[in-house]
Structure 1
Amino acid sequence: MATPHLALPYIVQAQAQKEVTHNEALNRLDVLVQPSVRDIDRTAPPTEPAEGDRHLVAVGATGAWSGHDDQIAAWFAGWAFFVPAAGWQVYNAADGKPYRFDGTSWRPDTADVGPGAWQIPPINMDWIGLGGGWQNPRYRIDQTGLVTIEGAIQNPTASEDGVIFTLLPGYRPAADLIFPGYSAGGLSRWNIRASGDVEVAASNRLFTSLSGLRFYAAS
């Protein structure tokens, strides 16, 4: 028997080893009350977790986390997993933002961070922001789930196609999308993957624009 909301185990009459049940309940409370996780996009467990570390298990989890997508993983001399209920909220220490579980997936809690809060992603490969007053790559989501990406990039080394950055969970489309883009050489192509990867193809190292990329995030 357990409590209906946090599944805290009850101690029953004449139960042996009551301390085991009691300690399990304390661990659940320690994980689930005012929860803060280290990150939300990890699919494999860290190699050297600290006691009490918590993570949101990303979709496609492997290793000891396999089969625990979207659950809260906590380390207590071993991994323990906690299945979220609709409405649960966690704070992500990696980006300083709250996330809420909608019953299916974790999404940015736009009610708390404010509609349209911009996310500034780290850029991969040799790409950098265009500079000169142009907006560096960024993206946001509004309360309807519409994601907007904007900015301009350049590559001082050479034209290089591939993944420019990866959208956080909650900002990703339900399926792969293709958008036309503009670069100094004419047209380019943007691939927005369901995995969150934002890929450029047929780019130009002098100037490639991300403006005009808009889509609805998977619900």
Structure 2
Amino acid sequence: MARPNAGTKGVPRLDRESQILDVASEHFGTHGFTATSVATVAENAGISKPLIYNYFGSKEGLYEACLDRGGALLADEMERVARGEAVGIERGMLTLGALFDLLEGRRHLWRLFFDTTAPSTGPIRDSVALYAGRIGRLADEGVGELMALAGNEDALDVSAMTSVWLGIVDSLVNWWIDHPDETADQMMQRCLRLLDALFGDAGTTGSRAEPHA
């Protein structure tokens, strides 16, 4: 009798790869690279361990594939917001709302890019750098617009504020991950309240009606 996790007949390769990446991303993002084994991913995906090696080559190759898929989802969504008409604080809040919506039900994707146990050289390093670069450029662009609206186009000020903004986003997403009962909409409303507390109603003008555009 065949083992229950051995067969893949009848499932197209792309569908099977997607299933494996769903399971692997959750394990890597929740438990970390070192604590996740290929055997565990295979068991939870209901397939054989050799099939993972056949598709991805190695545990590192599997992790890289998770990074590439997760990074593309995050960067594509931020770029979608950037193509809109919003600028300044409104663009920042729309970006946050889009992130929360995208990560709802798969918050583990965020932590794939901050795993200190993952290899820091080779293709994994290159994947992290690629998507960090795409996201960083979008942040720099958005912050530059915000600073220009305030009459400040000093390059170092923009650089410093971009670092601040990226730190705020990371802190908010990680806080949200640590509070799993908080929905994406509840988290967005919390962010709007925090912005009001810092800057008053002017800070969220134009952002209240469509926080998840």
**How high is the TM-score relative to the length of structure 2?**
0.31
Q: Which structure shows the bigger proportion of residues in helix conformation? A: 2
Who wins on radius of gyration, i.e. which is larger? Answer: 1
Q: Which structure shows the bigger proportion of residues in strand conformation? A: 1
**How high is the TM-score relative to the length of structure 1?**
0.30
Larger relative contact order (CA 8 Å, sep ≥ 6): 2
